[in-house]
Amino acid sequence: MKAIQIHSTGGPEALQLVDLPIPRPEPGQVLIRIEATGVNFIEVYFRKGVYKASFPMIPGSEAAGTVEELGPGVNGFKDGDAVVSTSVIGSYAEYALVPAAQLVKVPEGLSLECAAAVMLQGMTAHYLVFSTYPLKKGETALVHAGAGGVGLLLTQMAVRLGARVITTVSTKAKAELSREAGASDVILYTERDFEAEVKRLTGGKGVDVVYDSVGKTTFDGSLNCLHPRGMMALFGASSGPVPPFDPSLLNSKGSLYLTRPTLWHYIATRAELEWRAGDVLGWAAKGELKIRTEHTYPLANAAQAQIDLEERKTAGKILLVP
């Protein structure tokens, strides 16, 4: 099978197309033939060495495809089932193994491409607005990278709950996408100071929660956008990691809450996985959640896909197709 492999940390050139044997499923595993792979920032972090990994490795964890072979002891699936998971073992490939406990079926009416595009980012948005800080009707959220994959989905879910959403974006084109997703106010951070704008838009009160996937460049300003006892949900670091700071800063700014959540702790049980995936895939299948796929690349062009992701040239999801 064709696969992308990394032998050492480095730039996009570290992503090499290779030929490897098709893996065989062990007990509790399912072999899937991949139809579409989601590209995410976590793969960039592994490639750069921000997150530690053993090499050589096939990057990727999110993919949709069809069941090819069941490992011993697997029930509930059969050959040919359309499935999707965020726990694929090396999804930058034509075939991959998935723990059966982390695999879900794709509902009728939803394409495999859409399933791959929405699974990880959709469940991320879901846990943020339903669990990390459960948004309520009438509350106000600030969402950075509002036209990104998570940002667009998070905005739609927050609006479903009756919340007001303020977003930050880099261009007028992205601002329009964010408004289409339901944002009430969109700040072009390349032209205006987002902290000052948030305070103006909220009459000096500040927001209830900040959902921040940017990290280093937005962290201080985001804390300043919160009203007393507000929460900062820092779920990514696309601009780099946040430097160490004195926790008493949270006290001085109004007894703020800070959390650094990750999806895996919010789908730790089968019941929670089925809840989040069921909502996200179900809404997408019914057209109640709009999925934006920006670019689809051949597997061999994985390096360019990551370059475009890092340079923020896209709005929405990037897919690889074997």
Residues 157 and 89 in one domain: no
Helix (H, G, I), strand (E, B) or coil at 257: strand
C-alpha 59/C-alpha 72 separation (Å) is 25
Q: Where is the domain boundary, 215, 240, 260?
A: 260
pLDDT digits (tens, 9 = 90+) for 4-41: 999 999 999 999 999 999 999 999 999 999 999 999 98
Amino acid 62: pLDDT: 98
118 alpha carbon, distance to own chain's centre: 8
Domain assignment present for residue 280? The answer is no
pLDDT digits (tens, 9 = 90+) for 38-81: 999 889 989 999 888 999 999 999 999 999 999 999 999 999 99
How far are the Cα atoms of 66, 168, 201, 214, 221 from residue 236, in angstroms, in the given order? 30, 15, 25, 6, 16
Residues 146 and 242 in one domain: yes
Q: Where is the domain boundary, 244, 260, 276?
A: 260
Residues 142 and 92 in one domain: no
pLDDT digits (tens, 9 = 90+) for 200-252: 999 999 999 999 999 999 999 999 999 999 999 999 888 888 999 999 999 99
Residues 102 and 170 in one domain: no
Residues 18 and 106 in one domain: yes
Instruction: Give the domain range for residue 243.
Output: 136-260
Query: Which CATH number does the domain housing residue 220 bear?
Result: 3.40.50.720
Total domain count, the chain = 2
Residues 107 and 222 in one domain: no
Amino acid 238: pLDDT: 82
Query: Which CATH number does the domain housing residue 64 bear?
Result: 3.90.180.10
Domain assignment present for residue 238? The answer is yes
**Nearest partner of 115 among 281, 279, 264, 296, judged by Cα:** 281
Residues 186 and 301 in one domain: no
Residues 187 and 256 in one domain: yes
CB atoms within 10 A of CB 253: 17
pTM above 0.95, yes or no: no
Please state, for a pLDDT cut of 90, what percent of the chain lies above it. Answer: 91
Residues 22 and 90 in one domain: yes
What average pLDDT is seen over the chain? 95
Would the pLDDT of 262 be above 90? yes
